[in-house]
Structure 1
Amino acid sequence: MAAVRMERNSWTPELAELRAIEVGLEMAREEGIVPVLVELDCHNAILKLQRQESSRLEIGVRVREIQDQANQLGSVEWWFGRREGNRATHAMAHVRCDWETHEKWAERPPIFLLDLLSNEALAH
């Protein structure tokens, strides 16, 4: 499953990644998708999720909320993937969509991603 959504917020890259995880886990719950593999290129976010760090800062609160979502789903793994190794995600981040909607794809990716996904699968 993949999704693209524009939000009108000014976040640090780490907070933006954590917000994307929240949205992704929510979508997985709605679609009944388990197990879930979350792959990020933000190493700090992955470390915080794996260590189950918590604090009163916004990042700590988001990490706790994500961990609660993950526990409710039952089977969630956190993986670190280097940015240069995930061209499909990079391409999706640059998809234009209007500010009021989002796009999501379950099972069948949009045509423009098929080649990228095939090449990435072969590379792994």
Structure 2
Amino acid sequence: MAAVSTRDVRRPELDDGLRRREGGTVGGGCWRGPGEGVVKINTDAGVIEGVGTGMGVVARTHGGLFAWAVTLQERSILDVKRAEAEAIFIGMKEARSRGHARIIVESDCLAVIKDLQDKKKGRADIFRIYDDILSLCNSFTSVVFSFVRRESNCVAHLVAHSSPWIVGRRFWSDVAPQHIVEAISNDIINMN
């Protein structure tokens, strides 16, 4: 199986074969599992007016099995695009700390995914986050950034919006809360 260079962040529309083999979403509304030896990291973020910003990350292995999840709730109201990029950064840092070598990072924020695929540069704050994300790519054997429709990213959305009134970071390993387990089970049932 062809590996993606850590320095070659692929554009999904240019490498359909790799995405099919490694589990990237190729349209439709179903979540698709990664290939063997690959961990798929779904990320999402949301801003709840008057409450704060929530970021969620869910990692799953071949067959859709739950590996771990993390959520970060902040009282500050972040720009949505920045929050989406921060969620990707949080997920990649956690994946690195857990020793994952081959990852697919999926987000339903097309603008951020496209910027990362294009290795976009600039002076705004968001580009510092992009630089940090792209630097993390060197920690992995294979990284694929992939856009996914919201209906295929519902578990990460659920994690990002779970308990928005509880500020701080929460992490689940091996066993997730029941509402997340139910959403993952639904994904597994509907996988192609």
**Bucket of the pairwise TM-score, normalised by the shorter protein:** 0.7 to 0.9
Residues 52-104 of structure 1 deviation map (CA, whole Å, 9 limit, x = unaligned): 111111122211111001222332211111112222122212211632x3112
Q: Which residue of 2 aligns with 1:119?
A: 186
Q: Note the 1:58-69 alignment, pairs <5 A.
A: 58-69=125-136
Which amino acid counterpart does residue 176 of structure 2 have in structure 1?
Answer: P
Percent of aligned pairs sharing the same letter: 29
TM-score, normalisation: structure 2 = 0.58
TM-score, normalisation: structure 1 = 0.86
The alignment status of 1:3 with 2:70, answered yes or no, reads yes
More off after superposition, 42-51 vs 66-75: 66-75
The alignment status of 1:77 with 2:157, answered yes or no, reads no
Which amino acid counterpart does residue 70 of structure 2 have in structure 1?
Answer: A
2:189 and 2:145 map into 1 onto residues whose CA distance is 21
1:120 and 1:9 map into 2 onto residues whose CA distance is 32
Which amino acid counterpart does residue 149 of structure 2 have in structure 1?
Answer: R
How many pairs were matched up? Answer: 123
Q: Which runs of 4+ in 1 moved over 3 A?
A: none
Structure 2 unaligned segments of length 5 or more: list them.
Answer: 1-67
Q: 1:79 to 1:12 in 2, by over 3 A?
A: same
The alignment status of 1:109 with 2:176, answered yes or no, reads yes
* Superposed displacement of residue 32, structure 1: 1.2
Which amino acid counterpart does residue 63 of structure 1 have in structure 2?
Answer: Y
- 8 A contact 2:109–2:147 mirrored in 1: yes
Instruction: Say which structure, 1 or 2, has more relative contact order (CA 8 Å, 6+ apart).
Output: 1
Q: Which residue of 1 aligns with 2:98?
A: 31
**What is the root-mean-square deviation of aligned Cα atoms in Å?**
1.7
Higher helix share: 1
1:80 and 1:123 map into 2 onto residues whose CA distance is 19
Structure 1 unaligned segments of length 5 or more: list them.
Answer: none
Which amino acid counterpart does residue 105 of structure 1 have in structure 2?
Answer: W
Which amino acid counterpart does residue 62 of structure 1 have in structure 2?
Answer: I
Q: Equivalent of 1:92, from 148, 151, 159? A: 159
Residue 122 of structure 2 aligns to a residue in which SS?
coil
- 8 A contact 1:42–1:80 mirrored in 2: yes
